[in-house]
Amino acid sequence: MKTVIMVPTYNERANIAELVKLLHKHLPQARILVVDDSSPDGTFEEVKKLMRRDKRLQLLLRDRSVKGRGWAGRDGFVRALEMGADAVVEMDADLSHQPRFIPSLLAPLAAGKADVVIGSRYIPGGKDMDRPFHRQWTSNFARHYLKFVLGLKVKDPTSGFRAFSKKALEKIKAGTLAARDPFTVSEILYRCYRADLRVVEIPIEFVDRARGQSKLGLPTLLKYLGRAFLLRLGPDPLS
Ligand SMILES: Nc1nc2c(ncn2[C@@H]2O[C@H](COP(=O)(O)OP(=O)(O)OP(=O)(O)O)[C@@H](O)[C@H]2O)c(=O)[nH]1
Ligand SMILES: [Mg+2]
């Protein structure tokens, strides 16, 4: 399978070189596509520097005026398909998603047993980082709510560490994804269910980011719950 690892970045200069190194170690054949929204910390300059000696690394540089995790991912999926990918992995750059798990994310796709594979923290063998009690409670509530409202059958609907077959990205019309922000993770999974794709989970261990800034707070999370409800009530996104 021709695999492209698609990594949206915003201010990940402290992490990107280490991530690229680990990706090459665990997936020597795969190509890496960094989708950077002209990060003020110059993440894209670091990527350009690495690209001089690295033919497997590519950069999609977007304008900061259209910045957003969702739109970056959407454009990244489109570019990955243009690069000829049979499988596309999306992951965070902050090393919370560990490259060592990618071979097991890709295995069900390669075996033709799934269209979408989710790296899951909440199935046996999976692990989340230790969060304070109130954060644990909020995140458990969010995932049960999302499962219920959007009719998702997975244990970890908010995981952004996932692999998609080419067919899956075509079927969900990845180029038309609407959410500009991290709500995209739910929007994509909802479309996968609407498209009757085969979604499976494999266990991953999630670790907290060690470097760089965190971006998602409680008010944002609450807004997402409202948007999930609207998404479910709205028109079929695939028609
Ligand atoms: N291109 C692009 N990438 C983004 C944007 N916002 C976040 N990202 C990237 O999306 C991934 C997930 O963002 P994170 O900040 O790690 O979000 P999180 O995992 O919910 O929060 P923390 O890990 O606690 O910081 C990371 O690789 C970010 O650099 C954005 O506006 N544009
Ligand atoms: Mg993170």
- Architecture of the domain made up of 3-233: Alpha-Beta Complex (3.90)
Q: Is 238 in the pocket of ligand 1 (CB under 6 A)?
A: no
Mutating to test ligand 1, I would choose from 15, 63, 69 the residue with most ligand atoms within 8 A of its C-beta, which is 69
Distance CA 229, CA 234 (A): 9
Distance 7 CA to ligand 2 centre (A): 12
CA dist list (Å): 99 to 40, 115, 119, 190, 195: 26, 20, 11, 25, 28
Distances (CA, A) of 199 to 107, 152, 209: 13, 10, 27
Which ligand number lies closest to the CA of residue 92?
A: 1
- Could you read off the pLDDT tens digit of each residue along the chain, which spans 239 residues? 999 999 999 999 999 999 999 999 999 999 999 999 999 999 999 999 999 999 999 999 999 999 999 999 999 999 999 999 999 999 999 999 999 999 999 999 999 999 999 999 999 999 998 888 888 888 899 999 999 999 999 999 999 999 999 999 999 999 999 999 999 999 999 999 999 999 999 999 999 887 877 666 778 888 999 999 999 999 999 99
- Classify 167 as helix, strand or coil: helix
Domain boundaries, the chain: 3-233
User: Which of 11, 94, 224 is the best mutation target for the ligand 1 pocket, counting ligand atoms within 8 Å of the beta carbon and taking the most?
Assistant: 94
